[in-house]
Structure 1
Amino acid sequence: MPNQEKKQQGLMKIIKAIHNFTVNDDLEKYRRSQANLGRLLGTKQSEASYTEFLIDDIPSEWIHLNRPHQNETIILYCHGGGFFTGSLEYSRTLTTKLASASSSDILSFNYRLAPEHPSPAALEDALKVWGYLMHLGYGAKNVILAGDSAGGNLALSLALKLKEDGRILPKALVLFSPWTDLTLSGASHEKKAALDPILTKDYLERARCAYVPESNSDASIYADPFVSPLYGDYTGFPPVYIQVGTNEILLNDSTDLHKKLLRQDVAAKLTIYKGMWHVFQMSNMKTATEAINEAAQFLFRL
């Protein structure tokens, strides 16, 4: 256990250093650092095969398990990274774990990133990928939406957009430490600042400014439901499962969303992991494995 704790502490220091990126730094260098982090976290590549391809101009990847598995339901995964970093490679550890535990194939994609492509570019790309799945013949009720951090935001935003357009909603959503409130008004931003080993409010402020540049002249745009899904209308939504750690400044982004979902009669479940940090599921800790398995059990019970 001590060796594992040392490894995790070292990993968190690396992540924290990566998140010290400033607007004056080399953005592409920062994105490469995130991809390298994904490789560092690594998982057994023999568990799955990876097929990269384009959906229109969107780099995408099928993750197929190299063993018998169910193929009735697939998972559409939205990677995290604050909307201005993250990639297929970065999320591969988590998507492979989720595919293995849930016995499901996963489609992951590289949506356009800010600041080159601010909101709503990411949502537009997510809608294209959703349309691709529908064109392949998957019914909406055969698709699980999932995502971590900013990807959790995007998964929620996609489902909200489908609802607004009167389209059939996905079977369920699975969210890992979702960033749901870009107003940054949750109490945990202050209460958990000293405990969070990964994120800082300054990092999130820089990320949201890149994602929504119009906020420089109108801060109220952060409360737009397609920017901050916490403020969306979830009546009629499918089941939602949320995981979050006690030691992260985005704790309230999950707890407040969960409360709202319950108020609007959504079958929502929230698991809060003591002592855990932002998207801890990417790590090799025993708790991370337990959390991924719990997410899979949620899907099995649908």
Structure 2
Amino acid sequence: MNKTITGTQVPAANEAILAALRKVHNIASPASTAPEDLKRQRLGQETLGRLLTPPIGFSWEPFEIEGIPAAWVRPEGGHDRSKMILYCHGGGYTSGTLGYARLLASRMALATGYEVLAFQYRLAPEHPYPEALEDARLVWEHLMFLGWGAREIILAGDSAGGNLALELALDLRDADRMLPWRLVLFSPWTDMTASGESYEACRDRDPLLTREYIEAVREAYAPGADWAQAAYSPLFADLRGLPPTLIQVGGREILRDDSTRLHQNLQAAGVPAVLQAWPEMWHVFQMFPLKAAGEAMDQMARYLELLR
């Protein structure tokens, strides 16, 4: 299944919502990761998580995996035990908490009927590459210890979490390990070189992200790195052998081409891939209380159901 699906055309985003997002952006996306700016970024993302109330109808069970904060998110009234979702949260590798992760984790659980495991990996610049990937590996091994088979796991991530999900899948493949059943990526950050044309095309349309923010967080995550290396930019990796992949993206975001080019590269590598795009939506719009977000969750659930 190698195809592109365009999400239902939605009206131009409400200007009040966009104005509010831009205010949050001014707090949560500074152009540096100096201590005060980093504090402001993390506070801004946590504020966003508090402003966006998660849906009702799920349970939240926090615990730790060898010191890594984690939580099981389950639909109330029972869940489908045939599969589960391992979710990597976004935040530019420099911010993000379990509270923030709860937004998208709960929506995925309710849409699919599967339980979701969210975890809070260590953040840069205090913990640069590869520490987030090391945490993701440890959480994966914990699932193996619990008795989950790799083919029962859907590996999901948004933004930097999409980068982390891809890097974990590539790491497992290169180690000749069994791979997750499916990848589900929401606005994944796949190109740390920031070479996509959408950086310029969407510069004035993206209410959340800027090139300056991307450049700041990549430097925090991997100081002085060659960001064209596959270890940082899975867009440029050998993608052969990866699981079937669903990508969802908004048409207003500067990271749009990180998704569209990933889709093209997956197809070229022989990986079944589906791209779903919402022309008037922004970065990781799925976490917002919007009609388009509900549609995106429904399409994700339908994609997973059709492939069972």
| TM-score category of the 2 structures, normalised to the smaller one | over 0.9
191, 194, 206: which one pairs with 1:184? 194
What stretches of structure 1 move > 3 A for 4+ residues in a row? none
| Cα distance between partner residues in 1 of 2:207 and 2:38 | 22
The reply on whether 1:148 has 2:131 as its aligned counterpart is no
107, 111, 126: which one pairs with 1:97? 107
Task: Give the alignment's TM-score, normalised by structure 2.
Answer: 0.92
AA aligned opposite 1:290: E
Q: Deviations over 1:147-193 (max 9, x none)?
A: 10000000000000000000000000000000000011111111111
Task: Compare the two structures and name the one with the higher helix fraction.
Answer: 1
Stretch of structure 1 that moved more, 84-93 or 119-128: 84-93
182, 185, 191: which one pairs with 1:172? 182
AA aligned opposite 1:17: N
AA aligned opposite 1:239: P
Q: Deviations over 1:202-231 (max 9, x none)?
A: 00000000000133xxxxx21221211111
**Which residue number corresponds to residue 17 of structure 1?**
26
What are the within-5 Å matches in structure 2 for residues 80-229 of structure 1? 80-215=90-225, 221-229=226-234
Stretch of structure 1 that moved more, 272-281 or 60-69: 60-69
| Cα distance between partner residues in 1 of 2:300 and 2:153 | 15
> Could you list the runs of 5+ residues in structure 2 that have no partner in the other structure?
1-9
| Cα distance between partner residues in 2 of 1:171 and 1:79 | 19
Identity of aligned residues (%): 47
> Could you list the runs of 5+ residues in structure 1 that have no partner in the other structure?
216-220
**Which residue number corresponds to residue 238 of structure 2?**
233
Task: Give the alignment's TM-score, normalised by structure 1.
Answer: 0.94
* Higher RCO structure, 1 or 2 (CA under 8 Å, sep 6+): 2
20, 40, 51: which one pairs with 2:51? 40
| Cα distance between partner residues in 2 of 1:84 and 1:247 | 23
| Cα distance between partner residues in 2 of 1:92 and 1:184 | 28
Stretch of structure 1 that moved more, 55-64 or 150-159: 55-64
3-state SS of 1:213 partner = coil
| Cα distance between partner residues in 2 of 1:233 and 1:9 | 37
**Which residue number corresponds to residue 289 of structure 2?**
284
| Cα distance between partner residues in 1 of 2:116 and 2:89 | 12
Contact 1:19 1:199 in 2 (8 A): no
3-state SS of 2:277 partner = strand
